[in-house]
Structure 1
Amino acid sequence: MGAPRRPFGRQENSTGRGFHMERNMMQRVVTMNTIVVVRRIIIASLLAR
């Protein structure tokens, strides 16, 4: 009875698919955040001039 009660994520991590999916999502979030920060810096520099 203990085996089926495990969360589904652990089984995916054992295969490696879940880990890669989570990593891709993290990379997307990081890239989006960096793009937003760069835009803000560029806009700030243009306004400063």
Structure 2
Amino acid sequence: TMALELGPHKIRVNSVNPTVVMTAMGKLGWDDPKKARTMLDKIPLGRFA
């Protein structure tokens, strides 16, 4: 996809995809760096929303 191709160059592609939003609730499940890394490795920009 465009996001996979352009993400490593820090170029954003607008699309609708499920992800983790680091609200208080998101932090409950994804604050552990080891657990978060498994998800972040699948995200082209390498960060949560």
TM-score interval for Structure 1 and Structure 2 normalised by the shorter chain? under 0.3
Structure number with higher relative contact order (C-alpha < 8 Å, ≥ 6 residues apart) = 2
Greater helix share, structure number: 1
TM-score, with structure 2 as normaliser: 0.24
